[in-house]
Structure 1
Amino acid sequence: MTPLTRTVAATAALVCAAAGTAAGAAPAPAAAAPAASSTLPDRVMAGYLHTSFANGSGWVDLADVPDQWDIIHLAFAEPTTPTSGRLEFSLCPRQECPGVPDKAEFITQIRDAQARGKKVVLSVGGARGQVSLETAAARDAFVESASAIIDEYGLDGLDVDFEGHSLYLDDGDTDFRSPTTPVIVNLIDALRALSDRYGPDFVLTMAPETFFVQLGYTHYGSGPWGGADPRAGAYLPVIHALRDRLTLLHVQHYNSGPIVGLDDRYHTMGSADFHVAMADMVLQGFPVAGDKTAVFPPLAPEQVAIGLPASPLAGNGHTAAPEVQAAWDCLTTGARCPDYAPRGTYPGLRGLMSWSINWDRYNGDEFATEHGAHIGS
């Protein structure tokens, strides 16, 4: 989620190497939003709270998080090693974060936030937290350790923010509907196990980069001839397998190279055009790697939010408030649309996500204030 999460040039180079884009196909009907979605407002603002590190923006107490934020992602739980699956979570060291509370006080703040109607969720991964569940033992350790943290802090769910090399597709794993790569299959099984354990009120969110989702329209894995980046589109089988449990998908519309939209044109981050085109892809569905027989079905609008940096300091691709609001209006009402014309209108679009609450506080809470009022959070 940080500005260092992706070498943008590398992403752009892969995208620009596209061998050709197939025309869109009629999407399958969207699955109904999961039960956990009904415990949230119709409009949602989700924000990441730097909990285990400062990241230059300063510590923010949960008690001081502005009321506009409905989902608070605690960033981050990280594995003991990239392949162990065993997660650890601790508060920022006091020398790095003056004013950090002790664990007991932090748990009290969580309870107070929940009493105000907020969902407080454990976010796993981030730029530094590589999580590759290569074995059944790692899968089981992931479930066990995630459950232990959720129970210890009394949290509402889990956010999957796998970046870097956490997810990839083995050669020959070409169908997102029946994946075979261990890191994909084990993650799906682990998230199902956690969802089953906590029941329908469990909040499950995902924050992939465009490289792992929308890029799947033109590239999926290493490609039919091999040699392409095996991470391309690698979140698609995870999202698809868990669409009946997924509360919210908020793709990061930042730290991204140019991405081909459903109009078969490249779209560049930082504009209303980019946000409309990228959101439209998950709301309409698309043929994966141009294969009309393998269409990734659309998500319900209630399961979709747009991920944005809170300020220019928070990540590449910051978008000025008027552009964000034009994109929102275009997607939800059909008005104020940019060059890209969405294939539908989505009045149920759920909301916005931001990296991060801390950077927004550092910037005077502009994101929470401006966008919370505009979308009606």
Structure 2
Amino acid sequence: MLVTSAHAGPQAEGAERTGTAALPEHALVGYLHTSFANGSGYTPLSEVPDSWDIIQLAFGEPTSTTSGDIRFELCPQSECPGVETEEEFKAAVAEKQAAGKKVQLSIGGQNGQVQLATTAARDKFVQSVSAIIDRYGLDGLDIDFEGHSLSLNTGDTDFRNPTTPVIVNLIDALKTLKARYGTDFGLTMAPETFFVQLGYQFYGSGKWGGQDPRAGSYLPVIHAMRDDLTMLHVQDYNSGPIMGLDNQYHHMGGSDFHIAMTDMLLTGFPVAGDPDKVFPPLKPSQVAIGMPASPYAGNGHTPPAEVTKALDCLHKGTSCGSYQPHGSWPQMRGLMTWSINWDRYSGYGFMRNFDSYYGS
């Protein structure tokens, strides 16, 4: 996710989290610039249209890369004229929940590097994230770790049994939070393709070293949390060419890229080409496609007609083009976008296309 700045401040006690309605069969997920401003303008939570089923509050960020101490504050008035007061924001959270929507805390983003290298950082992560969840009465957590947050130590070659502390501690922290808040607590993830689908070719530094240790590094986290994962919406943007299951490289910006990348998640794939280490498919209901809302929002914007083609292919097996997926999945969950703000800036074209396609 692309951001320009973010701010942090002290934690405070606040609202208690309550359970909310189940997700609809097909859901629209969007990130809301809550702690910072950029060229898209500030959008109060109360003004987010009802089409958005999960609103990801961007972003909670650490006090330092390795502290595990996550902070989240509303954008200051000087940067975001018209920003809500804390009480107005809490009221807006409750209003969205009453309407059957989910409001989650997204941690990380482009600027928020998080490395839980120690058990102390792991425990501080759990404590500080819980404080934010409780303060605002939020419905769940989104892990949007980018950059150098996750990488694999040399010799850590099996995604099913990770040994790297930043990976193991993150998994432990997420399991603790999920256990604390129960089955209604949402858990979503928004990795880049480099950390997921690239794992078909490369995993960590490789058996002989020399590769980028971040390659495929989300796979052990996704796999360990798959029974607790509400939704994975990989960022199909800001990406280089990625090899699909057809062993061809696919390029972002059209339906082909989304079809090939999503097919990998719903079919499964051998990690680093090893037939003995196959990443199992996720449930269709756990998978959504991440796209930029407009050309302003990120590289790899997909025109609405191409979005529709991708959905037709993955849901119905039609309009697939040159890449033929290994099935069709009517229950695939839907779409995610960066961001609600950028979609509003561009007249809500992304949202309207989603509503038109799914008949909302």
Fold agreement, TM-score > 0.5: yes
Q: Which moved more, 1:57-66 or 1:254-263?
A: 57-66
Select 1:352's aligned residue among 312, 335, 344: 335
Amino acid at match of 2:145: F
Q: Is contact 1:37–1:247 with CA below 8 Å preserved after alignment?
A: no
Q: How does 1:118-129 map to 2 (within 5 A)?
A: 118-129=101-112
Query: Which residue is equivalent to 2:274?
Result: 291
Amino acid at match of 2:343: D
Distance across 2 between alignment mates of 1:164 and 1:351: 26
The count of aligned residue pairs is 346
Query: Which residue is equivalent to 1:32?
Result: none
CA deviation string 1:276-316 (max 9, x = no partner): 00000000000000000000000000000000000000000
Amino acid at match of 2:206: G
Select 1:304's aligned residue among 278, 287, 294: 287
CA deviation string 1:34-73 (max 9, x = no partner): xx99811000000000000012111101111111100000
Q: Does 1:66 align with 2:33?
A: no
Distance across 1 between alignment mates of 2:210 and 2:3: 27
Q: Secondary structure at the match of 1:250?
A: strand
Q: Does 1:144 align with 2:123?
A: no
Deviating beyond 3 angstroms after TM superposition, the runs of 4 or more aligned structure 1 residues are none
Distance across 1 between alignment mates of 2:152 and 2:316: 37
Question: How far does residue 224 in structure 1 lie from its aligned partner after superposition?
Answer: 1.4
Q: How does 1:159-238 map to 2 (within 5 A)?
A: 159-238=142-221
Query: Which residue is equivalent to 2:16?
Result: none
Query: Which residue is equivalent to 1:28?
Result: none
Q: Is contact 2:153–2:164 with CA below 8 Å preserved after alignment?
A: yes
Amino acid at match of 1:333: K
Select 1:243's aligned residue among 221, 226, 250: 226
Q: Is contact 2:21–2:100 with CA below 8 Å preserved after alignment?
A: no
Identity in percent:
66
Q: Is contact 2:3–2:38 with CA below 8 Å preserved after alignment?
A: no
Q: How does 1:1-377 map to 2 (within 5 A)?
A: 1-2=1-2, 39-377=22-360
Q: Is contact 2:34–2:58 with CA below 8 Å preserved after alignment?
A: yes
Q: Secondary structure at the match of 2:59?
A: strand
Amino acid at match of 1:229: D
Amino acid at match of 1:297: P
Query: Which residue is equivalent to 2:10?
Result: none
Q: Is contact 2:3–2:109 with CA below 8 Å preserved after alignment?
A: no
Question: How far does residue 3 in structure 1 lie from its aligned partner after superposition?
Answer: 7.5
Distance across 2 between alignment mates of 1:331 and 1:286: 17
Distance across 2 between alignment mates of 1:321 and 1:54: 26
Question: How far does residue 372 in structure 1 lie from its aligned partner after superposition?
Answer: 2.2
Question: How far does residue 371 in structure 1 lie from its aligned partner after superposition?
Answer: 1.6
Q: 1:314 to 1:159 in 2, by over 3 A?
A: same
Q: Secondary structure at the match of 1:45?
A: strand
Question: How far does residue 184 in structure 1 lie from its aligned partner after superposition?
Answer: 0.2
CA deviation string 1:6-39 (max 9, x = no partner): xxxxxxxxxxxxxxxxxxxxxxxxxxxxxx9981
Amino acid at match of 1:361: R
CA deviation string 1:308-349 (max 9, x = no partner): 000000000000000011000000000111211001111110
Relative contact order (alpha carbons < 8 A, sep ≥ 6): 1 or 2 greater?
A: 1
Q: Is contact 1:124–1:160 with CA below 8 Å preserved after alignment?
A: yes
Question: How far does residue 375 in structure 1 lie from its aligned partner after superposition?
Answer: 2.8
Q: Is contact 1:332–1:345 with CA below 8 Å preserved after alignment?
A: yes
Q: Secondary structure at the match of 1:249?
A: strand
Q: Gaps spanning 5+ residues in structure 1: where? A: 5-35
Q: Is contact 2:90–2:136 with CA below 8 Å preserved after alignment?
A: yes
Amino acid at match of 2:2: T
Distance across 2 between alignment mates of 1:87 and 1:109: 22
Distance across 2 between alignment mates of 1:83 and 1:204: 22
RMSD: 1.2
Q: Is contact 1:3–1:314 with CA below 8 Å preserved after alignment?
A: no
Q: Is contact 2:3–2:111 with CA below 8 Å preserved after alignment?
A: no
Amino acid at match of 1:83: T
Q: Secondary structure at the match of 2:95?
A: helix
CA deviation string 1:231-270 (max 9, x = no partner): 0000000000000000000000000000000000000000
Distance across 2 between alignment mates of 1:48 and 1:236: 23
Amino acid at match of 2:71: E
CA deviation string 1:182-203 (max 9, x = no partner): 0000000000000000000000
Amino acid at match of 1:319: T
